[in-house]
Structure 1
Amino acid sequence: MQRIIQLSILIGLGILSGCGKTDQTQPRAASPTVPTIYTCSMHPQIQQDGPGNCPICGMELVPMKSGDAANPRSLELSAAAIALADIQTSIIERGPATRTINLFGVITPDDTRVATVTARFPGRIERLFVNFVGTRVRKGEHLAEIYSDELVEAQSELIGALRYDSNKASAAGIKERLRLWDIPEDQIELIESTSKPVYRVRIDSPTGGVVTQLDVRDGDYVKTGSRLFEVTDLSKLWVHLDAYETDLSWLRYGQHVLISAKAYPAETFTGTIAFIQPMLDPKTRTVKVRVNVDNQDGKLRPGMFVRGTVEAHLGTGGKVVAPELAGKWIGPMHPEIVSDEPGDCPICGMPLEPASELGYAAYDPGEPPLLVPAEAVLRTGSRAVVYLQAEKGQFIGREIVLGPRVKDYFVVQSGLSEGDEVVTNGAFRIDSELQIKAQPSMMTPKTAEQAMPSNEVTTSDQSHPLSEDGKSTDLQDPVDIYSLHKNISQQFTTDDSFNVALNSALQSYFKLETKLDQVDFTSAQSAAAEVADKIKAIPMKGISPPAMKILMAEQVDGEQAAALLKQDAIQQRKPGLEGLSEALITLVQTFKWRGKTPLYLMHCPMVYDDRGARWLQNTAEVTNPYFGPDMLSCGEVLAVWNSQTASWDDPE
């Protein structure tokens, strides 16, 4: 905080130095005297007409400039202040946007290229030509020889039928039966020409590949349907990649994938996405993506771990486009089949489908997406803020709507135009200065005047909370957070109706936590709205104006927090829960909640990348609603509410 105050002083000096160079020959219009209002940079709802300390956080109140109301999000800096703060800007432009998705997986055989050789008739294995797994065979090569009584009998019937011209139809039927038994054609011709039965019949490989399974040995007796061999064609392979939920919006059927394996660090192999599994694995939270890869040289082997890289090209609005597939037709089962005309797939015979029906947006080469540098964006919850340089030295904050992130940029959905100049370095310094001035900023989108219904003083002359050694409280330390609330002296007495209404809001809040712990987000959204409605329904009858303004501020905060929880984006749920939690914590301690239900102040230091967050519970056992089942027990009890003394007690 000292660093922010020092920076504010330096920027203030820069502004003064810049103002000193103004042309003094211009007449100045007389301005009416406006009383100075003091506010808290962290809690702009706190206002008073004199200096003092914030009753919530203990920070020193700062003057609120009334002239900022014309453009409350504007900040003017002199050239010296800009140089001191190292402010740098960039021009918003349109450009090609490519999102790189890295996936990991394993190579497996192509299931459509696995052939199982079975016995078509009972018999005995007389000879194996292939006697170990891994043998490479070509289509038609010998695998084994088999003797069968049934086969000898069928051959004898054929020889007998061939002796009589009147039985040609019978002979043709017997030969067809032999063909159905996979008897090679040359052996059938040998039987016809010699009129002698063949006692050992060959079993040939139905396809080329590698023998991946051997189920018989010399001399084994087999039955009809017994498995003998399995031959797998490894000239084409499948790669099963694991894609997380956040990757799915970028993946499309037919996309090209670069495959790399540790065995060949200098080489990459090209494949195409042929199938995206429609179901999510609940254990790994991933979806299997199948890629077809050509392996004519035999370098890739099933079982290898590989990395798959997908380059997703984005068009206007952040939609995935494929320039090479514009106006093309693709095989629905074989993505390697791409045609300029409609027709049938030459492999499976299914009708080809337009690429636009497989998830690709229409490609418009003349309108690339609008991009903003990622370092220019200040993000908090669902809001994204950038600072534009309107004129030299004048910076204006603007909320924008972001699309997906592509490397070092975000796609802009709305809020910016081509040619806008945004701050890429020093945006947080500008935002901090606006926050110190109690003007709209990243964390406080409303000004103090907007947050409060009137300009009445909301604080009394009270000393800000200090620790025992006289130092200011550190709001990042959970122990100091507890001490701060333990020492706050601004409390108001209320009647029973107020206490009953607050108790009802707490019970709905506990129900919300339960739904979040159970990952039931649909019910949690309804519960959040119920909490906000009950906070809003707390009666104001009989409370003083200062107390009324605190209550109204918390009602607004609760309503905004519940709105965040209604959004589908997971990252909005934590700010929403924190907003409701902080609103209820303030109401409990400020209005001396008197309830029979136990109340515990909890804290988890790991929320928001170790920033930490608080919540309330009616049990001492930690059930962290910020992380849910993943880290349910992460946290600690900071304090226990004492309804008799209306204060926090140390946990036992």
Structure 2
Amino acid sequence: MKASYLILTLLCVVLAAAGGWFAARRFPFERHGPDSSASKIIHYQSAMHPWVKSDKPGNCTICGMKLVPIHEGEKGFQTSSGMVTLSSSSVSVINVQTELIRRRALVRTLRVAGRIEDNDAKHRIVSAYVDGRIEKLAINYVGAEVMEGAPLLTFYSPALLTAEHEYLALIHQSQSTNTFTLRAEQRRLIAAAAYRLNRLGLTEGQIKELGRTEESQTQREIRAPISGTVVQRFIYEGQYVKEGDKLFELGDFSTMWFQFDAYERDLAWLKAGQVVDVTTPAVPGKTYSAPITFIDPNINEATRTARVRVEIQNPLIEENGGRGRELYHRLYAEGLVKWEAPEILAIARSAVISPGPQALAYVDQGGGNYDQRRLKLGRLGDEFWEVLDGVAEGEKVVTAGNMLIDAQAQLNQSAHPIAELPSANGITTPPHEHSAEDAPTTLKTRGEAGPIEKLTEPQAKVAREFLVVANAIAQALASDNVEQYNQQGQKLHAVVPALFQAFAEAPSWQPSVQALNSTGHLQPASDLPAARKAFLPFSMATVEFAKHLRARQDEFSSLKIYKCPMVNSAIPGAAKDGFWVQSETPLRNPFLGALMLSCGTEVKK
């Protein structure tokens, strides 16, 4: 009875299992949660360049790798902290506008304010040559226009009168002398007396007139030495003056100086000979175009400005029976300076965020993706910045909405950890996962021992031989050729010891050379995974050695260093980022081979 019951129970279990298997074959269960095989694909994304997305399967437009399907509930590949992705609706809401980067003329307009000053180079002080008294003023007010040689005042001087009498007496004596020797002596005395009169203020014309008439005058006129305007008058009629006292100050206002202060940042735009358009409220509707004649090389320490001078023609005009200059002394005036540079690479001023050492701009990568770029700026024009580095001609830069994009980038950045370069063995166990784009783009050298010496010729020779073999090994893996990898790897057994011996007396090279000596004895591999696992630490050591070579020896400056952010997909347990050296282009990835041959980015530093 018990045996029959046991057999019946076993039969039920078998039938239930068979029924369940049959039902599962015909009516499979739906998968819930994170099971991507049953969830809907929302888009396809590039693992190497996460901002490249598509609604359909295909290849990355940048590196050519196959796009990975992203299902509902999956976050997909994270972009770098500098990359911002917006939906089409967000782009429309914040009114994102872009502009094509191209070469263009850079125009700069400076508006400056200054004063109209008199021309210091055409200024004269009329002073008394001898003691005397002012009898009458021919010009008795400031601002009067005088011509050269016109009388300024009538002057009485006993000393001048005595000198005139002596001059006339010598002339009379010479006329009564018959001896040739005496006449020659008299001529010398007359010339000396005439020179004295000239030093006492008489002009040559007045001296000749005195000799012709042979009559001295108790009063003499002092005449204007230049044509100009009376700037100051220091005397009055009846005033006694002594030798050296100032009588008048004259200025030639036929040319005036417009002077203004230019800030240090504007000096790059100002050159001697550059034309400035000057206007003043005193002469409305008229513009004076004149060149810059001088820029003071001494910067004012208090204001950090330099004085700039523009020389303007000031015509003489006649109105209501009077004469005067069009421009007055010390007038307020404004200047307009226009400067145009030849075609340079420039972007709109609105595209630049925080001009200065941390200047930023965002470049449209398409599909709502915007890449943050650090800029090196040159001169600032009216509408554009000169760009020395950071963007390239033909790219599209964001000119409106970039402040909101930058705010989103800062939020993204706070969520991205800083990845470190793996050590030379290439195998690390990170405490947490990093995205492919989190890796640094510069390499840190381990164990540097002071300044690196330059190579001797024997060292350069063995370095060249080593790089040829290292490059051949990398190219073999890029071609997925294990046999060629093994053949080239055997050559390292001779090249690496020679390299180690050549650099034995170079202490600063020892860290990188010792790393090559410990990783460069590659053994034959049975398959590609084993070959790439052995190649990774050797490649990392080669990169450190190549960095020193290309930084300190011109012949190695063309060496290329590339980074692959997906090494762990080919080498289990390895860090995400791997580096390798190439001596020629194009890029050929030795870690991924034909699967993603062009995957990688160049490391510049």
User: TM-score, structure 1 length as denominator?
Assistant: 0.49
**Aligned pair 1:272/2:291, yes or no?**
yes
The one of 419, 424, 446 aligned to 2:399: 424
Q: Provide the residue aligned with 2:278 in structure 1.
A: 259
CA distance in 2, matches of 1:210, 1:97: 43
Q: CA deviation at 1:86?
A: 2.5
Q: CA deviation at 1:143?
A: 0.6
CA distance in 2, matches of 1:193, 1:261: 53
Q: CA deviation at 1:427?
A: 2.4
The one of 370, 382, 390 aligned to 2:357: 382
The C-alpha deviation readout for 1:349-403, integer Å capped at 9, x for no partner, is: xxxxxxxxxxxxxxxxxxx111101222222762222222234544322222111
- Mapping 1:624-643, distance limit 5 Å: none
Q: Report the CA distance shift for 1:118/1:32 in structure 2 as closer, same or farther (over 3 A).
A: closer
Q: Report the CA distance shift for 1:67/1:156 in structure 2 as closer, same or farther (over 3 A).
A: same
Q: CA deviation at 1:191?
A: 2.0
Q: Secondary structure at the match of 1:378?
A: coil
The one of 45, 67, 86 aligned to 2:77: 67
Q: CA deviation at 1:185?
A: 3.2
1:107–1:302 Cα contact (<8 Å) kept? yes
CA distance in 1, matches of 2:129, 2:58: 109
Q: Secondary structure at the match of 2:78?
A: helix
Q: Report the CA distance shift for 1:156/1:313 in structure 2 as closer, same or farther (over 3 A).
A: same
Q: Provide the residue aligned with 2:417 in structure 1.
A: 448
CA distance in 1, matches of 2:329, 2:131: 34
What letter corresponds to residue 247 of structure 1 in structure 2? D
- Computed over aligned residues only, the root mean square deviation of the Cα atoms, in angstroms, reads 3.6
Q: Secondary structure at the match of 2:111?
A: strand
**Aligned pair 1:190/2:165, yes or no?**
no
The C-alpha deviation readout for 1:382-435, integer Å capped at 9, x for no partner, is: 222222223454432222211122112111111222221112222233333444
Q: CA deviation at 1:258?
A: 1.7
What letter corresponds to residue 311 of structure 1 in structure 2? K
Q: Secondary structure at the match of 1:203?
A: strand
Q: CA deviation at 1:282?
A: 4.2
Q: Provide the residue aligned with 1:496 in structure 2.
A: none
CA distance in 1, matches of 2:58, 2:240: 114
The C-alpha deviation readout for 1:561-609, integer Å capped at 9, x for no partner, is: xxxxxxxxxxxxxxxxxxxxxxxxxxxxxxxxxxxxxxxxxxxxxxxxx
1:270–1:294 Cα contact (<8 Å) kept? no
Q: CA deviation at 1:21?
A: 7.8
- Mapping 1:98-137, distance limit 5 Å: 98-137=107-146
- Mapping 1:564-643, distance limit 5 Å: none
Q: Provide the residue aligned with 1:404 in structure 2.
A: 379
CA distance in 2, matches of 1:30, 1:208: 89
Q: Secondary structure at the match of 2:277?
A: strand
Q: Provide the residue aligned with 2:157 in structure 1.
A: 148
CA distance in 2, matches of 1:375, 1:16: 35
Q: Report the CA distance shift for 1:24/1:110 in structure 2 as closer, same or farther (over 3 A).
A: closer
CA distance in 2, matches of 1:272, 1:196: 53
What letter corresponds to residue 327 of structure 2 in structure 1? L
Q: CA deviation at 1:210?
A: 1.3
The C-alpha deviation readout for 1:21-64, integer Å capped at 9, x for no partner, is: 8237999887899x99xxxxxxxxxxxxxxxxxxxxxxxxxxxx
- Mapping 1:518-597, distance limit 5 Å: none
User: TM-score, structure 2 length as denominator?
Assistant: 0.53
The one of 275, 288, 308 aligned to 2:335: 308
Q: CA deviation at 1:220?
A: 1.8
Q: CA deviation at 1:120?
A: 1.1
Q: CA deviation at 1:188?
A: 2.0
1:385–1:397 Cα contact (<8 Å) kept? yes
**Aligned pair 1:202/2:221, yes or no?**
yes
The C-alpha deviation readout for 1:143-198, integer Å capped at 9, x for no partner, is: 11112222222222222222225112211221222223331333323322222212
Q: Which deviates the most, 71-80 or 238-247?
A: 71-80
Q: Report the CA distance shift for 1:222/1:388 in structure 2 as closer, same or farther (over 3 A).
A: same
Q: Report the CA distance shift for 1:146/1:32 in structure 2 as closer, same or farther (over 3 A).
A: closer
**Aligned pair 1:395/2:370, yes or no?**
yes
Q: Secondary structure at the match of 1:372?
A: strand
CA distance in 2, matches of 1:277, 1:196: 54
1:270–1:293 Cα contact (<8 Å) kept? yes
1:18–1:79 Cα contact (<8 Å) kept? no
Q: Provide the residue aligned with 2:442 in structure 1.
A: none
CA distance in 2, matches of 1:25, 1:375: 36
CA distance in 1, matches of 2:369, 2:236: 87
- Mapping 1:89-104, distance limit 5 Å: 89-104=98-113
Q: Secondary structure at the match of 1:140?
A: coil
CA distance in 1, matches of 2:114, 2:170: 59
CA distance in 1, matches of 2:143, 2:83: 74
Q: Report the CA distance shift for 1:431/1:451 in structure 2 as closer, same or farther (over 3 A).
A: farther
Q: CA deviation at 1:239?
A: 2.2
CA distance in 2, matches of 1:309, 1:381: 26
**Aligned pair 1:373/2:348, yes or no?**
yes
CA distance in 2, matches of 1:400, 1:248: 23
Q: Secondary structure at the match of 2:354?
A: strand
The C-alpha deviation readout for 1:529-579, integer Å capped at 9, x for no partner, is: xxxxxxxxxxxxxxxxxxxxxxxxxxxxxxxxxxxxxxxxxxxxxxxxxxx
Q: Report the CA distance shift for 1:174/1:306 in structure 2 as closer, same or farther (over 3 A).
A: same
Q: Provide the residue aligned with 1:250 in structure 2.
A: 269
Q: Report the CA distance shift for 1:173/1:231 in structure 2 as closer, same or farther (over 3 A).
A: same
- Runs of 4+ off more than 6 Å: 15-21, 24-33, 451-455
The one of 223, 243, 247 aligned to 1:228: 247
CA distance in 2, matches of 1:427, 1:110: 51
Q: Report the CA distance shift for 1:448/1:235 in structure 2 as closer, same or farther (over 3 A).
A: same
Q: CA deviation at 1:266?
A: 1.8
**What is the total number of aligned residue pairs between the two structures?**
357
Q: Which deviates the most, 19-28 or 234-243?
A: 19-28
What letter corresponds to residue 77 of structure 2 in structure 1? G
2:228–2:253 Cα contact (<8 Å) kept? yes
**Aligned pair 1:22/2:32, yes or no?**
no
Q: CA deviation at 1:457?
A: 8.1
2:44–2:57 Cα contact (<8 Å) kept? no
CA distance in 1, matches of 2:113, 2:222: 40
Q: Provide the residue aligned with 2:601 in structure 1.
A: none
Q: Secondary structure at the match of 1:379?
A: coil
Percent identical pairs in the alignment equals 29
Q: Secondary structure at the match of 1:308?
A: strand
The C-alpha deviation readout for 1:217-239, integer Å capped at 9, x for no partner, is: 22222211111111111111122
What letter corresponds to residue 365 of structure 2 in structure 1? A
Structure 1 residue runs of 5 or longer lacking an equivalent are 1-14, 37-64, 316-367, 459-652
What letter corresponds to residue 448 of structure 1 in structure 2? P
Q: Report the CA distance shift for 1:154/1:313 in structure 2 as closer, same or farther (over 3 A).
A: same
CA distance in 1, matches of 2:189, 2:68: 121
Q: Provide the residue aligned with 2:486 in structure 1.
A: none
Q: Report the CA distance shift for 1:226/1:32 in structure 2 as closer, same or farther (over 3 A).
A: closer
CA distance in 2, matches of 1:281, 1:141: 41
Q: Report the CA distance shift for 1:418/1:30 in structure 2 as closer, same or farther (over 3 A).
A: closer
2:44–2:69 Cα contact (<8 Å) kept? no
What letter corresponds to residue 156 of structure 2 in structure 1? Y
Q: Secondary structure at the match of 2:161?
A: helix
Q: Which has the larger radius of gyration?
A: 2
